[in-house]
Every structure is written in structure tokens, then in C-alpha cells.
Amino acid sequence: MMSRVLPDYDPDTQMSGSAILWCAAGVPVLVVILTIAVYVQFGRAREFNYYVDQARMEATLGRTAKDAIQAAPHWRQVLLWSSLANKVRSDHPDVEALESAAIGVLDVIDRVERVDVEVITLDGLQANAHISKILARGSSVYSLDVTNQSVNRAVLTTSGKYQLDPVFECKNGSVGTQIINSLVDIAWLDTPNVVGQDTLIALDPDGRLLYCTSDGTMAVTLLTAPYDGWNNPVALEVFQGRIYVMEPRANEIWVYTRDDKFFGQAPVRYFTESAIDLSDAIDISIVQGSIYILHEDGHMTECIRKSQDLPPECNLEMTYVDVRLGRSNDIRFKNISFPVSMAAYPPPYSSLYLTDLKSPGVFQFSLRLAYQREFRAVNQNSEIETIGFAVGPGRDLFFASEDNVYVGKRP
């Protein structure tokens, strides 16, 4: 047929047997491929329209509901259907409008405040960084990179931007005659101390205390080990000139008292008479003398000593107070199932902040665990998966993802 439509028709033109065979096999395959392509195209369009229609229907039900309690489930369904629609076709204006409407309603119901943030210029941060904790002090913010076993410092410049301090040095390795194996946790230590200035300190698993000063100098002292030796300490805190080291395997928090500028004496037990179960404890914070202990399932323990001569009084299962619509009080907070970190601040903030592996935000509570709000960091319309949090000077809020630190202004 093809040869006959050509200008120079040759009646003796013949197709080889193999060519005929390939045509016989290829034409059905081509037909099937074209059919599938058309089906997929039309099928995806139908699927997308179905998701959008469902989102619109739920939005209508949400708008016509009698109150916020009845409306909230419908608006959550709007987000679900919109998410499915986005997977089929992204950046559709109708879907974006539905999402924005749902977020606007649910943010009010859930007490969510979105904070526009920008990434801090950390030019020296390595590509495989994994930030586990951040700490803000004055015009500086420090981030502990557990992958590379180092602490980075960003400082506020005259341009109003935070940038990496190339002079600051704080990492594992040889420091004088001591060798820092790894960095467990960081804290801030005021004077008097061995370096003669307010400084960042870091703890290694063998009780070595690393001092990292703002001028790039590092120094090491050795904490006297508990009588059974060290057994995997996980958290470090400083309060009123004392150092607190939590060691879950020993079910103890060891307290070091400063003698002049050294912490040379043996530690004392915080739980002087009867220990509590710390086997699943992951972090501690101290505010106004109260020690808050965060457990891996999200429940919280509070202990306080009314006097140094008295044993601590502990509330082993504090109750989270959640007065939001449709929520209830419990020893576990609904949005915190896999807690990552905790930060606590004295007045005027007087708050506890918790982050969770499965939740993008930062949850703020009063010191009595009454839920206040959730901060969500937003960068270029994308939510930041926050695992670390710190409150800086003025209205600055710092959010850490696994490999970046962001700064924004409190709403």
C-alpha cells in the first residue's frame, strides 16, 4: 500500500517476510499503547475532578454547619481531598482556593500561628548535617549537628541578617590533652567558669565538658563520674550555677555544684531517697526550679525541690490541658506521639515548647501544660518540618529542620 502511493510506483515492490511479521506484531501493541495513554489521560482528569468535587462538597458542608465543632471535620476532609487532587495535578487555582479556605478556618480552631521564615546563611554547614538542638543566646544562635559532631554559631549582623560565624569552633576531637568522643547535648554557662566568660558548653558521654567561646577557643574539663561510672547520659542542663546531667539507664539526674569556677566535686543524686523510672526519658528542661522530664511517648514528669535538704516532689504524669473544640485533657497530647525536643523559658515567656517527629509545628504550653498555640514555620509557601526550636531576642523565633536553621518574627 505504501509503495503504491509513492510517485515512482514499482509493481514488483515486495515487503520482506520479517517486515510483515514486525508490522503484524507492532500494530496491535501500538494500538494498545495509544489506548492506554488516552485512558490514563481521561482517567486522571476524571480522578482529579472527582477529588475537587468532593472537596467542594465538604467545604459547602463546613460553611453551612451550625458551629465550629460540626464544621471542623468537614474542613479537615477538604484538606484531605485537596491533597489527593494535588497529587494528580498541582498548582490548580481551584484546589489552592479550597486549601486556603480550609487552613484559614482550621488555624483558628486549632490555634495555629504561621510564621514566615527565611533560612539563616550557614555556608559552612555540611550537606549531610542533622541538627538535633538549637540554642539562642543574645544575638547568636547555636545549632548542634550530631552527624558531624559539631556546633555551628550564627550571629546577627548589622544588616539585620544572621550569618555563620567562621571563627567559632566547637567540635569533637583533640582539645589539649583530652579527646572529645562525641557531643551529647549543649547548654549555656554563665561566669564564673574556667574560660572567664559566658560560654556554650557541650557534654560528651564520658563526662568531658567542652567549653566553646565566642572567640573560637575551646577548653575541656572532666566531670567526676558517678560512683558506678557513666552509662550513656542523654541531656545536659544548667540552672543557678549547677550542672544537671540526665542518665536514663541509671534512673538518675546527677547534680554538679560549682566550686569557685570548677565543677570538680563528685555529683549528688537529684532523687535522694527514691528514684523514678527514667528509662524512656529523652530530654529535660529547668524553669524556676522545676525540672520537666520529657518521655519518648510524649508524657511529662515534673519534679521540684522546695529545699536542697528535702527530696524532690514529683508529678509523674502531668495532664495536658487542651480546651480547643472537641479536644480533652490527657497525660498525652494528641499531636505529640514521637517527641523530638523540648525548650523551656522563664518569664516573661514562661512556656514549654515541644516538637514532634510527625508534626511540622512547635507546640507551646504553659508551665502547667495548658496548650497555648502551635507555631508553624513557612518558607516560600512550604511548611518547615521543625525538630528544634528556640526563642531569640525581641520577636525572633528560630526553627531547625534536619539540615537548616530558619528565623522569623513572632506574630
DSSP string, 122-183: -TT--TT--EEEEEEETTEEEEEETTTTEEEEEEE-TTS-EEE-SS---BSEEETTEEE---
Mean pLDDT of the chain: 87
Buried b / exposed e along 98-121 (16+ C-beta atoms within 10 A): bbebbbebbeebbeebbbebeebe
388: nearest Cα among 346, 347, 348, 360: 360
253: nearest Cα among 185, 197, 198: 185
**pLDDT value for 274:** 75
**pLDDT value for 352:** 95
| Residue 18 clears pLDDT 80, i.e. is over it | no
Out of 30-44, 119-133, 350-364, the most confident range is 350-364
| Residue 261 clears pLDDT 80, i.e. is over it | yes
**Rounded to whole angstroms, how far apart are CA atoms 225 and 208?**
10
The mean per-residue pLDDT over the stretch 316-340 comes to 91
The mean per-residue pLDDT over the stretch 228-233 comes to 92
| Residue 247 clears pLDDT 90, i.e. is over it | yes
**pLDDT value for 233:** 95
Tell me: domain 115-409, CATH 1.20.1070.10, correct?
Answer: no
Q: What does the pLDDT look like over 274-301, one tens digit per residue?
A: 778 999 999 999 998 899 999 999 999 9
**pLDDT value for 83:** 87
| Residue 231 clears pLDDT 70, i.e. is over it | yes
The mean per-residue pLDDT over the stretch 368-394 comes to 90
| Residue 41 clears pLDDT 60, i.e. is over it | no
**pLDDT value for 283:** 95
| Residue 9 clears pLDDT 60, i.e. is over it | no
Strand 268-269 with 252-257, pairing: antiparallel
For the chain, percent of residues with pLDDT exceeding 70: 88
| Residue 344 clears pLDDT 70, i.e. is over it | yes
The mean per-residue pLDDT over the stretch 363-380 comes to 94
Buried b / exposed e along 399-409 (16+ C-beta atoms within 10 A): bbbeebbbbbe
Q: Where are the beta strands (DSSP E) in 288-404?
A: 290-295, 300-304, 313-315, 339-345, 351-356, 359-366, 371-379, 382-383, 388-391, 396-400
253: nearest Cα among 224, 275, 225: 275
Buried b / exposed e along 157-186 (16+ C-beta atoms within 10 A): eeeeebebbeebbbbbeebeebebeebbbb
